[in-house]
Amino acid sequence: MIDLRSDTCTRPTAAMRRAMAEAEVGDDVFGEDPTVRALEEETAALLGTEAALYVPSGHMSNQIAVYVQTRSGDEVWTHRSGHVVANEQGAASVLARVLPRVHDCASGYPDAALLEEWAGGADDVHRARPRLICLENTFSGLVVPPAEQRRIAAFAHDRGMLLHLDGARLWNAAVALGETPARVAEGADTVSVCFSKGLGAPVGSALAGDAPTVAEARRARKLLGGGMRQAGIVAAGALYALRNHVGRLAEDHGRAQALAERIAQTPPLAAEARTNMVLVTTPADRAREFAGLFAREGVGCVPLGRDLLRLVVHLDVSDEDVDAAATRIAAAAAAAG
């Protein structure tokens, strides 16, 4: 099976496993795990923030960001399919008890007119207090243009709001833009990054921000039961990934492009590459059927909508895999007619 369902499906490399096996560890709840500390410091340095916190998942990272930057009843603005509202079991309403307000901008980020409209009447006693804007970069593989992110950050800060950047795939955005991760994080008050997606580490994410916010986040992590003891074992995998697997994301982007070009020649399918993802459009209402046909040919993918499939290229996908996947997808498409 060529597993293109997600860049979370990678296995640790031999060198990464070695780094994990040999990691120096201590009790991280006591702040005594040197490997976790090194990971947090290097992550903060790369993102240009004062501090960072290692957490078990991107889900927890996002939820801590919402929890520490809002009060119960505040409005949190995000895309309708933003991970923080669409893929985390409604946790923001359970834990931080905020009111999500969702938009449907195709770019994934709110346009200026929408922000102006939503900010109108913010002082009206009838409405919830707008507090946090959540932005994803990349959003389903799409890179947020830096100028747009600056515009949104400036808007938030002008109105006393904060900006949380869900950068699960920020590394991909940085490589695609040819910018440093710090430049891509610019303007955000908190930034969540994943080590367990394109970077290929087995476990973990980080929440970065200024020192007081990260100190609060450290408390919230414990509140949620996310205090880990000799976490250096898994943090070592993340640290190895951070040091060795960021630059190579360009290879994934090249392979996604190659795969999209092959699939685009396979009627009735259309395909578009977005950083490390390939979005495949099927005939109306047939996404699930095609996902099943691909699976039968040994290609794993994920249906995103009624006529949309997602394939993700990652560390464990070679040029040969791309070639084989394209051939199998062509066979599936031919069988479907």
Ligand X SMILES: *Cc1c(COP(=O)(O)O)cnc(C)c1O
Binding site for ligand X (CB under 6 A): 57-59, 62, 83, 136, 166, 168, 194, 196, 205
**Nearest to ligand X of 168, 233 (CB atom):** 168
- Taking the complex as a whole, the smallest distance from the CB of residue 33 to ligand X amounts, in Å, to 20
**Nearest to ligand X of 177, 270 (CB atom):** 177
**Nearest to ligand X of 312, 329 (CB atom):** 312
Q: Please tell me what DSSP assigns to residue 285.
A: T
Alpha carbon distance 10, 238 (integer Å): 13
- Taking the complex as a whole, the smallest distance from the CB of residue 50 to ligand X amounts, in Å, to 22
Phi, psi (rounded to 5 degrees) for 59: -55, -50
- Taking the complex as a whole, the smallest distance from the CB of residue 192 to ligand X amounts, in Å, to 7
**Nearest to ligand X of 192, 266 (CB atom):** 192
- Taking the complex as a whole, the smallest distance from the CB of residue 169 to ligand X amounts, in Å, to 6
Angle at 157 between CA 155 and CA 160, to 5 degrees: 115
Report the DSSP pairing between strands 299-300 and 2-3: parallel
- Taking the complex as a whole, the smallest distance from the CB of residue 128 to ligand X amounts, in Å, to 24
Would you call the peptide bond into 213 cis, given omega within 30 degrees of 0 as the criterion?
A: no
| Torsion on CA atoms 177, 108, 134, 59, rounded to nearest 10 | -90
Alpha carbon distance 262, 325 (integer Å): 10
**Nearest to ligand X of 134, 233 (CB atom):** 134
Angle at 24 between CA 38 and CA 237, to 5 degrees: 65
